[in-house]
Amino acid sequence: MNEEFARSRLAKTCKQLYDRNLTVSAGGNMSVRLNTVEIIITPSGRNKGSLQPEDMVKMNLAGEIIGGGKPSIEHKFHLALYEENPETNAVVHCHPLYCTALAVNNKKIKSNITPEGALLLGRVPLIPYYTPGSQELVDAIMDYPKARAMLMSKHGALTQGNTLEEAYNRMEELEFQAKLQILAGRTKDLPDSEIEKICNM
pLDDT digits (tens, 9 = 90+) for 32-71: 999 999 999 999 989 999 999 999 999 999 999 998 899 9
* Burial class of residue 3 (count of CB atoms within 10 Å of its CB; 0-12, 13-18, 19+): middle
Examine the residue annotation and report whether 175 is marked as an active-site residue of this protein. no
Q: What per-residue confidence (pLDDT) applies to 131?
A: 96
What domains does the chain contain, in order, with CATH numbers?
Answer: 3-199 (3.40.225.10)
Q: What per-residue confidence (pLDDT) applies to 189?
A: 79
The pTM assigned to this predicted structure is 0.93
How many whole angstroms separate alpha carbon 68 and alpha carbon 189?
A: 47
φ, ψ at 147 (rounded to 5°): -65, 135
How many whole angstroms separate alpha carbon 19 and alpha carbon 47?
A: 12
How many whole angstroms separate alpha carbon 57 and alpha carbon 40?
A: 5
Point out the catalytic residue in the list 64, 74, 175, 196. 74
Instruction: Report the pLDDT averaged over residues 165-174.
Output: 97
Instruction: Using alpha carbons, list the distances in angstroms from residue 107 to 90, 172, 188.
Output: 26, 19, 15
Closest CA to 103 of 26, 165, 174: 174
